[in-house]
Amino acid sequence: MNRRVAVTGATALAMALGLTACGGDSGGGSDENTLKLVAADYGDKASNASKKYWNAVAKDFEKQNKDLKVEVDVINWNEIDSKVKTMIQSGNVPDILQTGGYADKVADDLLYKADEVLSPKTRKNFIQTFAKAGEVDGDQYGIPFVSSTRNLFYNKEIFEKAGIKEPPKTWDEVADAAKKIKSSGAADTPYALPLGPEEAQGETMMWELGNGGTYTDASGKYTLDAKANVETFTWLRKNLVEPGLTYSNPASTDRKTAFADFAAGKAGMLNGHPTLIDMAKDGKVDYGVAPIPGKNGPLKSTLGVADWMMAFKDNGKQEQIKKFLDFAFSKKNMLKFDEMYNLMPVTKDTLAEMESSGKHKDLEPFFEALPNAKFYPLGDPAWDVVSAEIKKSGGNAIKENPAKVLGELQKKAEDAAANK
């Protein structure tokens, strides 16, 4: 009796182990008429989950192309990178992927070029700056999907209480306005400076642009510890952190905290993107938008951020992918997505529609910044590593010796660039 139990147990165990081992490779790309689409979730609640959007697009597409099927897999932002990594490692590569970065996949030769999977008509429709940002060594691989630009948001009520007439244009005016807000007690946090891991690479670049600094020089070499960048952090520490005009620990404060504080009327001003418009409206904050202040005057070109679509060539479904992408980038679909999340378009016809329809007055300052937007070095295959390193420790430049912190980052960036 006991033995039978043991044998049964062993068999069950072996089966369980066998099953787990097989769990990884279901749903591979064997069927050539089924496209596997993996996309990031932009929604923050069930009612606006991106799954809804993609399921609808897939259904419409299948109606027009009876022989094709689209399998949709929407993954939240926190997990999409590691899940995609696992898919690639286990050889279970998606056909189409929509996420934050693309160049690392180019380095491993996983992607189709954009002109291989887009019709000329679709390709010409992209706003030039974005198409350009999708290039690696002159060939476009990354297909822009949505974008945003950054501007300064300020709370009009707090500014009024503190007696500030105009939004600041230079760094000195920022410090001055922040001082007035502090001394009048109009807000807990006069200037919200989030350098925590969530988006340290974004906030850092917005400030560095103001001092004529960037992440790379003209030849594409990293210049993270350039003199201008060290100066930027030294200024921030001396003029905002030490006098207590921003968070006491910017390096551990995330963007979502800063946004939430602004939406709750607790922060005087901060750099933000269009998502903050809705948050501020929900929080009944009377806000204003102005160009981001630079050291000697407002930024002429602000930070632009884009998310990307890419097509994997592993399963060889070039024609099928082309059909789907042409469909997905049609004006109707793009407009629906951009309006769903208050994001900004990357295609010319959608931009024209959104600018002229009159429904998007609040996005106007962000549209204006689009043509001149500056990007991260997205086309560098090492950028994803560099970006992750900046997220992890870049914020520390504000409290320790900035030259040392940025110097270490620079070393890591050079290693990553040598290793791509």
Residue 260 token pair: 């939430």
Q: Considering beta carbons, is residue 110 or 174 the nearer one to another protein?
A: 110
Q: Considering beta carbons, is residue 104 or 157 the nearer one to another protein?
A: 104
Q: Considering beta carbons, is residue 359 or 392 the nearer one to another protein?
A: 392
Strand-pair partners of 123? none
Q: Considering beta carbons, is residue 33 or 249 the nearer one to another protein?
A: 249
Please give the C-alpha separations between residue 8 and each of 5, 20, 299, in angstroms, as whole numbers: 5, 18, 72
CB of 25 to another protein, least distance (A): 15
Residue 310, helix vs strand vs coil: strand
CB of 100 to another protein, least distance (A): 12
Q: Considering beta carbons, is residue 199 or 353 the nearer one to another protein?
A: 199
The helix-helix angle for 200-209 and 227-236 (nearest 10°) equals 100
CB of 299 to another protein, least distance (A): 27
Q: What is the DSSP string of 82-111?
A: HHHHHHHHTT---SEEEES--HHHHHTT-B
Q: Considering beta carbons, is residue 216 or 333 the nearer one to another protein?
A: 216
CB of 234 to another protein, least distance (A): 18
CB of 45 to another protein, least distance (A): 20
Distance CA 152, CA 271 (A): 4
CB of 330 to another protein, least distance (A): 29
CB of 205 to another protein, least distance (A): 19
Of the candidates 254, 297, 270, 289, the residue with the CA atom closest to the CA atom of residue 362 = 289
> Which residues 6+ apart lie within 8 Å of 90 measured at CB?
24, 25
**Sign of the CA dihedral with 272 first, then 209, 136, and 200 last:** negative
Binding site for another protein (CB under 8 A): 2-3, 6-7, 9-10, 13-14, 17, 82, 84-89, 104-105, 107-108, 110, 188, 196-197, 247-249, 251-253, 261, 266, 384-385, 388-389, 391-393, 395-396, 399, 408, 415, 420
> How many Cα atoms within 13 Å fall on the side-chain side of residue 135?
9
Residue 72 has what DSSP assignment?
A: E
Q: Considering beta carbons, is residue 49 or 388 the nearer one to another protein?
A: 388
